[in-house]
Structures are given as structure tokens and as C-alpha cells.
Structure 1
């Protein structure tokens, strides 16, 4: 179970890093928001899901 939590946290950190870099670049680039907004919204949904799943699974670890 600890390995699963560690992998979820790793995925969370990697996705957070990608979003921290990717969202400002997308917003600063002309015309990119219209092309990339679905991808960004999906990535943000996955980010929220990782937070929730990691928190729920972490409550089972003693």
C-alpha cells in the first residue's frame, strides 16, 4: 500500500510541475488558449482526482 501512495504522490508532483510550467506558457502564447483549454481542464481534473485519491488512500495507511 505504501508503494501505491508513493507512486500517486510522484504522479501528483510530476503533473503539478507540468501544470506550473504549461499553464502560464499557454496563456502567454497568442491563440494557444483556444487550442489547449480542453487539455488543461482535463489535466486539472486529473490533478484534483490525484489529490482526492491520495488523501483517501493515505487515511488507510497507519
Structure 2
């Protein structure tokens, strides 16, 4: 169980790094926002889902 939570945290950290770099690049590129708007919103939804799932599973461990 602890290993699973650690993998979720790793996925959360990796996705956070990707979003921190990717969103400003997407917004700064001309006409790139319209092309990748759905991908950005989906990534943010996955990020929020990872936070919720990780916090719920972590409450069972601690």
C-alpha cells in the first residue's frame, strides 16, 4: 500500500513538473492555445484527481 502511494506521489510530481513547464510555453506560443486547450484541461483534471486519490489513500496509511 505504501509503495502504491509513493508511486502516486511520483506521478503527481512528474505531472506537476510537466504542467509547470508546459502551460506557460503553450500560452506563450501563438495560436498554440486553441490547439492544445483540451489537453491542458485534461491534464489539470488528472492532476486534481491524483491529489484527491493520493490524499485519501494517505489518510489510511498515517
- TM-score interval w.r.t. the shorter chain? over 0.9
Counterpart in 1 of 2:24? 24
- Give the whole-Å Cα distance in 2 for the aligned partners of 1:58 and 1:48: 15
Q: Which residue of 1 aligns with 2:49?
A: 49
Runs of at least 5 residues in structure 2 that lack an aligned partner in the other structure? none
The CA distance in 2 between the partners of 1:10 and 1:51, in whole Å, is 11
Give the Å deviation of 1:6: 0.3
Unaligned runs of 5+ in 1: none
Please state whether the residue corresponding to 2:60 is helix, strand or coil.
coil
TM-score when normalising by structure 1: 0.98
Q: Kindly report structure 1 stretches of 4+ aligned residues shifted beyond 4 Å.
A: none
CA RMSD in angstroms comes to: 0.4
Q: Number of residue pairs matched? A: 62
